[in-house]
């Protein structure tokens, strides 16, 4: 009998083109997602070396990082941003692709939102992109991870990557989530537990009844932030939720071919008794809504907690890091999280801009008003299709009635490469993935939360439990 295999081992072994004695392998790449920021130098390198792309039908491309989220009729005002987007246009026009969703296309959006919603991300694939949040696609039992620009060029030229096998880590989350606790809270709690380097060197699989109970949107939120725990790839096994999501998507197989593919996809689970290099158990019921207080995603508390005291930390490097973070964040140790006021709110990003996220935020916003003290609440759908779906459900009207701004899709204030950004010293409740110094604008202060908590902060003017509003 064949030895029990983890999902990662199955995905790895089905993509090895060749392997050297030292374990260095050539891995075949099925899907190559491309955006404007990390690809221009790769296309240029390819051209300078006189090489052609190996298989353009693997390429799905979009412009997302630099694109504005309002006044699309005015185009991209920043000339440097515009040049980058036009460079992508020119490169894709020249080499071709399976699909290209340029700026203003009705299916344009964040690369990690459009891949799955168009069925361009399918179970069993290897998926790469010059973007660390490519881990998102692991929610479909894909071996998916971010790469640098040199590797973007390598994949363009050879359809392969040179790699060694990762170690395997299972995060097992069992039990029922408490009401109001979402996928975002689960993944922030995981990062708080194992730290931002806890998954370094591992492929991180998420399992257990709490994970199986999540929608595909929730699973994508979890895998999206595997990289924030240090793991390049997050993974979740295929089940009927996965199969149902894929039915009828434009680039997914249809009819009899879908049935045949599904039979294979259903094997993309870890076998009973498969051995992992490391296992971490979490109790779902004990997880509360999470809010980060510092400048690393591991600096996280539950909503009922207080800002911790660096003096209580024994490790000098960590203590110094906490002290620096509190100074940057303008926070004092001992402050209850619920007393921290916010200046702006951002609902969006590849972590939390899908339809379920917008529904969760709208459910909180409905019939309520943004606090006067909050300067701006941006709601940025992950794609044109998400935007259209939300509008068909009337969510846009709920947001606008609450004093929120309903924008066009893109990465927006997750990393502030476009005009959406924090001013120095401003504090933001954000559904994005990174609270690094300056991430949302130089001097800006980011607190990572779920869409429901972001909307609650917009209404209350400070962090608040949804159940305690009004």
121 binds other proteins (CB under 8 A): no
CB of 468 to other proteins, least distance (A): 33
Among 3, 22, 73, 74, interactor with other proteins by CB under 8 A: 22
What's the closest the beta carbon of residue 320 comes to other proteins, in angstroms?
7
Which CB sits closer to other proteins, 368 or 434?
Answer: 434
Residues 359/395, Cβ–Cβ less than 8 Å? yes
414 is in an annotated binding site: yes
Interface with other proteins (CB under 8 A), residue from 56, 70, 87, 280: 87
With 0-12 CB in 10 A as exposed, 13-18 as middle and 19+ as buried, what is 470?
exposed
Q: Which stretch binds other proteins (CB under 8 A): 67-75, 276-284, 390-398, 433-441?
A: 433-441
Integer Cα distance of 266 and 244 in angstroms = 12
Residue 55 touches other proteins, criterion: CB under 8 A = yes
Binding mask 381-410 for other proteins (x = CB under 8 A): ------------------------------
| Ranges within 215-244 binding other proteins (CB under 8 A) | 227, 230-232
Calpha distance 469→361 (Å, rounded): 13
By CB under 8 A, residue 154 contacts other proteins: yes
Q: Which of residues 27-46 bind other proteins (CB under 8 A)?
A: 28, 30-31, 37-38, 40-41, 44-45
- Candidates 141-149, 337-345, 376-384, 389-397: pick the segment binding other proteins (CB under 8 A): 141-149
Residue 223 labelled as part of a binding site: no
CA neighbours closer than 13 Å in the CB half-sphere of residue 54: 16
Per-residue buried b or exposed e for 307-338, using 16+ beta carbons within 10 Å of the residue's own CB? bbebeeeeeeeeeebbeebbebbebeeeeebb
Supply the minimum distance, in Å, between the C-beta of residue 354 and other proteins: 21
Min dist CB 276 to other proteins, Å, is 18
Using rule CB under 8 A, residue 310 touches other proteins: no
Contacts of 316 (CB under 8 A, 6+ apart): none
Q: Which is nearer to other proteins, 108 or 296 (CB)?
A: 296
Say how far apart CA 64 and CA 287 lie, in whole Å.
33
* Contact status: 317 vs other proteins (CB under 8 A): yes
> Does residue 132 bind other proteins (CB under 8 A)?
yes
Residues 162-201 that bind other proteins (CB under 8 A): 162, 164, 196-197, 200-201
Contact of 48 with 39, CB cutoff 8 Å? no
- Find residue 128's DSSP bridge partners: 32, 145
* 20 touching other proteins, by CB under 8 A: yes
- Which residues between 289 and 308 bind other proteins (CB under 8 A)? 296
Give the interface segment with other proteins, choosing from 153-161, 214-222, 329-337, 358-366 (CB under 8 A).
153-161
Specify the residue for token string 């989220």: 69
The site map against other proteins for 249-268 (x = CB under 8 A) is --xxx---x---x--x----
Closest of 291, 144, 128 to residue 226, by C-alpha: 144
What tokens appear for 263 in the block?
Answer: 């039979």
Nearer to other proteins, 251 or 393 (CB): 251
Closest CB 223 distance from other proteins, rounded Å: 15
Choice from 9, 64, 117, 153 touching other proteins (CB under 8 A) = 153
Candidates 1, 80, 263, 311; binder of other proteins (CB under 8 A) is 80
Task: Please state the residue numbers annotated as binding site for [4Fe-4S] cluster.
Answer: 350, 411, 414
Task: Please state the residue numbers annotated as binding site.
Answer: 350, 411, 414
């Amino acid at each position: 009998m064949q030895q029990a295999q983890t999902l990662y081992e199955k995905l790895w072994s089905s993509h090895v083109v060749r392997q050297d004695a030292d374990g260095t392998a050539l891995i075949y790449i099925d899907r190559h997602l491309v955006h404007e920021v990390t690809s221009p130098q790769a296309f240029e390198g390819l051209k300078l070396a006189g090489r052609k792309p190996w298989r353009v039908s693997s390429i799905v491309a979009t412009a997302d990082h630099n694109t504005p989220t309002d006044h699309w009729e005015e185009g991209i005002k920043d000339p440097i941003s515009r040049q980058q987007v036009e460079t992508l246009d020119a490169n894709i026009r020249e080499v071709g692709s399976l699909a290209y969703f340029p700026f203003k296309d009705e299916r344009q959006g964040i690369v990690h939102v459009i891949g799955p919603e168009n069925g361009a991300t399918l179970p069993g694939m290897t998926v790469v992109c010059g973007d660390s949040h490519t881990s998102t696609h692991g929610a479909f039992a894909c071996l998916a991870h971010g790469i640098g620009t040199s590797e973007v060029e390598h994949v363009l030229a050879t359809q392969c990557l040179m790699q060694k096998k990762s170690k395997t880590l299972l995060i097992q989350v069992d039990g029922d989530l408490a009401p109001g606790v979402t996928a975002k809270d689960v993944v922030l709690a995981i990062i708080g537990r194992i730290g931002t380097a806890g998954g370094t060197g591992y492929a991180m699989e998420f399992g257990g009844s709490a994970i199986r109970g999540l929608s595909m949107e929730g699973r994508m939120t979890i895998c999206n932030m595997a990289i924030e725990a240090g793991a390049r790839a997050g993974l979740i096994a295929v089940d009927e939720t996965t199969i149902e999501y894929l039915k009828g998507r434009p680039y997914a197989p249809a009819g009899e071919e879908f049935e045949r593919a599904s039979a294979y996809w259903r094997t993309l689970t870890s076998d009973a008794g498969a051995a992992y290099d490391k296992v971490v158990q979490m109790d779902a019921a004990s997880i509360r809504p999470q809010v980060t207080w510092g400048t690393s995603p591991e600096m996280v508390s539950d909503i009922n907690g207080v800002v911790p005291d660096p003096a209580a930390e024994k490790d000098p490097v960590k203590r110094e890091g906490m002290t620096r973070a509190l100074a940057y964040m303008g926070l004092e140790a001992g402050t209850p999280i619920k007393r921290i006021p916010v200046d702006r709110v951002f609902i969006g990003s590849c972590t939390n801009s899908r339809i379920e996220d917008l529904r969760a935020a709208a459910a909180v916003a409905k019939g309520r008003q943004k606090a006067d003290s909050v300067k701006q609440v941006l709601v940025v759908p992950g794609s044109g299709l998400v935007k259209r779906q939300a509008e068909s459900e009337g969510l846009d009207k709920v947001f606008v009635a609450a004093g929120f701004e309903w924008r066009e899709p893109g990465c927006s204030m997750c990393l502030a490469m476009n005009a959406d950004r924090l001013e120095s010293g401003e504090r933001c409740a954000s559904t994005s993935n990174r609270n690094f110094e300056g991430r949302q604008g130089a001097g800006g202060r980011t607190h990572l939360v779920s869409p429901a908590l972001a909307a609650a902060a917009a209404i209350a003017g400070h962090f608040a439990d949804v159940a305690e509003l009004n």
